[in-house]
Amino acid sequence: MSEAITRRRFIWIGVGAAMAVGTGAGVKVAVEQPEVERPSMRIGAGMKKVLVIYGTKSGCSAGVAERIGRTLATQGIEVDVVPAEKAGDPASYAAVVIGSGVRMGQWHEPVRTWVADNAGALKTTLLAFYTVGMTLVTDPNKTDEVRAYTDLLIAETGVKPVDVGLFTGWNTGEGFSFIERAITGAMKVPKGDFRDWAAIEAWTLKVAPRLQVS
């Protein structure tokens, strides 16, 4: 899956003093905000179809979604891996797996919007959630905090996932804005790709029977 930066744009964002980037509380700063390719793909073949949706800014969660899709495909399932911005009606799928990276303590907005817009259909569809981020890298004991990123969305929409996967992410600087790199540096977030592919595959195989697709 390509995670190359396809274009760059400038945005205005508010920066608080708590972010420790030296701009002062409430100051708006023009920063270069890279955007990454968000590809869709179909993997595998079978009688049952599963939709895997992801939200990403840096490309990290795109790789996780692809690995989930490829793992499900080993069970004789046809899988569509789609970014939330391009995801359509889930009604034709046997199950849906939805996940996102985290920014400012919540999932990316396109994923939250898709879940809210399709909550009616998702309430009668078997689904699982997953969250990808650096919190469990810096403190493996914060599983409750990471789980909380989805709990609010579950409460707001009334959907009921059969499971919620919690995965470590990356801090490579790829796809990160200048401000985001400054913040992670100030917080001493370790650099590197910490995605645990074995854990992602194990969770996928564990949840597949609960989604009635294996």
One digit per residue, the tens of pLDDT, for the chain of length 214 reads 333 323 333 222 233 323 222 223 333 333 344 456 677 999 988 889 999 999 998 888 999 999 999 999 999 999 999 999 999 999 999 999 999 998 778 899 999 999 999 999 999 999 999 999 888 888 999 999 999 999 999 999 999 999 999 999 866 656 555 556 555 555 555 677 889 999 999 999 999 999 998 7
Residue 128 lies in a domain: yes
> What are the distances in angstroms from CA 136 to CA 23, 63, 207?
28, 18, 21
Residue 102 lies in a domain: yes
Residue 18 lies in a domain: no
Give the separation between CA 58 and CA 128, rounded to whole angstroms. 22
Ramachandran region, residue 188 (left: φ > 0; alpha: ψ -120 to 50; beta: rest): left
Task: State pTM to two decimals.
Answer: 0.77
According to the model, what pLDDT value does residue 82 have?
97
Contact between 13 and 28 (Cβ < 8 Å): yes
| Range(s) of the domain holding residue 137 | 38-174+192-211
Residue 161 lies in a domain: yes
**How many domains is the chain built from?**
1
